[in-house]
Amino acid sequence: MNTFTPLEIRHGLLLGLAPIQVWGWVESALLLPADATCYGMVTTGRAQLRDPAAGSFDLCQGMFFVLPDGGSVEGGTGLVIALTGYRGLRQIGGPLEATGRLRYIDGCSDTLLICPPRWGEPCLNHLHIPPHTDQTSHTHPSVRIGVIMGGTGECRTPDGVYPLQPGIGWYIPTGYQHSFFTQDEALDVVAWHPDSDFGPHDDDHPMINRTIIE
pLDDT tens column, 56-110: 999 999 999 999 999 999 999 999 999 999 999 999 999 999 999 999 999 999 9
How open is the CA angle 12-13-15, to the nearest 5 degrees?
150
* CA 87 – CA 37 distance, rounded (Å): 6
| pTM of the model as a whole | 0.96
Domains in the chain with CATH codes: 9-93 (2.60.120.10), 102-193 (2.60.120.10)
> What is the number of H-type helices and E-type strands within the chain?
1, 20
* CA 116 – CA 123 distance, rounded (Å): 5
Q: pLDDT tens across 135-191, in order?
A: 999 999 999 999 999 999 999 999 999 999 999 999 999 999 999 999 999 999 999
Nearest of 32, 138, 151 to residue 81 by alpha carbon: 32
